[in-house]
Structure 1
């Protein structure tokens, strides 16, 4: 992605935080016609030493798993909070509006997970991420039903080979920060989240959290 240096976040912990807070990702591959093919899926994120791994699955009728098998290199994007930036945040009038947003792009190498037990473990990890209490209900379901559900999906492991993290919060325009933070802090959910990230990045003179 286009990544000017002032928005290029090199701190891996910031990328991981953004990915974990917004795990519903876009998985992008190339289809048989050479065009981008996108699936929108939740991903489980694991740190295995220095290696970052993403785990997920798609419905078996979704051809995406076939594209991953044929062309394992793919792209995963995570979109964080985003909001309009009004020129009212500046002390002068010779300004234009823009958009602030947070995003992570991961280049990945994919492999399919075919073992039924490994697929079941992957599902339990996703359940643990989003509704741990459901694990008991899943375990209580009839084995035949569980097997039917497992056979209806294709699971995959995505080894992350490169991470780009873009935190676009008008870092290069410090004269806007006070008013921008004030407007975002009083705004909608995304805007309040961006105000929190301004604090995290120390744009308001506070220490990063």
Structure 2
């Protein structure tokens, strides 16, 4: 399972046993993401961290010819419930002029895709030949049901909570209090919805099939690079990969 051909998205008898985070076999459930066992999330907390740390999701719902797909920010609807997102409600919103908006209906099934850090892996780190490159990545897929919210105060509440949570996580302490009336003046153009999570799956492809020494070389190399590479190295450390002899 090394190199660019290691993950093709196609089931194969040679792949490890496949399971979802809930422990059910993915092979028997149509339309469910293929996740080799070594790349599974081991706890709901790991999934929640991706959703919170990378909240720009892709919402997918069925269309007449091809699926609708819209990138949008997604946050939890409340602060209760712990780390397990299954059974929780999320908030999302988009521009009402988006053709995706009128296609949403109460109870419609949908999927939210969150992409965490990812990076190209050069075979130089393997220090062996022949070898093939690959791409390591983190992704979370949430399956659930959609409920479009009424215009007005309900939608304003979604916009305000989204802004507050994202400012708290990524911003610089901006206080929205003086901007609420401005929010209210533009919220007519916003379509907000609830997303009730029924199932969560994740794939953490972090070179788990490689030796700890190779993993450590990758982590050390990522530490000198900015952005997604460094974040991927931190995720590898969080998963206990590599050795203890790193710098």
Same fold (TM over 0.5): yes
Query: Which residue among 34, 37, 43 is the counterpart of 1:2?
Result: 34
Pair 1:88–1:179, CA change in 2 (3 A): same
Do the aligned partners of 2:216 and 2:243 also contact (CA within 8 Å) in 1?
no
User: How far did 1:21 drift?
Assistant: 0.7
Is structure 2 residue 126 aligned with structure 1 residue 90?
Answer: yes
Q: Deviations over 1:164-200 (max 9, x none)?
A: 1111111111242121111111123111101101110
User: How far did 1:56 drift?
Assistant: 1.1
User: How far did 1:115 drift?
Assistant: 5.3
Return the alpha-carbon distance in structure 1 between the equivalents of residues 47 and 103 of structure 2. Answer: 27
Q: 2:105 aligns to what?
A: 69
For residues 1-209 of structure 1, the aligned pairs below 5 Å read 1-33=33-65, 35-46=66-77, 48-49=80-81, 51-69=87-105, 72-114=108-150, 116-131=152-167, 133-141=174-182, 146=184, 148-174=185-211, 175-205=213-243
RMSD of aligned alpha carbons: 1.9
Name the structure with the higher helix share: 1
How many residue pairs get aligned? The number is 201
Return the alpha-carbon distance in structure 2 between the equivalents of residues 198 and 29 of structure 1. Answer: 32
SS at match of 2:105: helix
User: How far did 1:45 drift?
Assistant: 2.3
Return the alpha-carbon distance in structure 2 between the equivalents of residues 90 and 6 of structure 1. Answer: 19
SS at match of 2:163: helix
Return the alpha-carbon distance in structure 1 between the equivalents of residues 95 and 175 of structure 2. Answer: 20
Return the alpha-carbon distance in structure 2 between the equivalents of residues 188 and 95 of structure 1. Answer: 26
Do the aligned partners of 2:214 and 2:242 also contact (CA within 8 Å) in 1?
no
Return the alpha-carbon distance in structure 1 between the equivalents of residues 187 and 220 of structure 2. Answer: 48
Return the alpha-carbon distance in structure 1 between the equivalents of residues 51 and 116 of structure 2. Answer: 8
User: How far did 1:113 drift?
Assistant: 0.9
Q: Deviations over 1:4-59 (max 9, x none)?
A: 111111311011111111101100111123x1111010111246436222201111
TM-score with structure 1 length normalisation? 0.88
Q: 2:11 aligns to what?
A: none
Q: Deviations over 1:53-89 (max 9, x none)?
A: 2201111111212222177101110011111001111
Return the alpha-carbon distance in structure 2 between the equivalents of residues 16 and 44 of structure 1. Answer: 11
User: How far did 1:117 drift?
Assistant: 2.0
Return the alpha-carbon distance in structure 1 between the equivalents of residues 102 and 207 of structure 2. Answer: 41
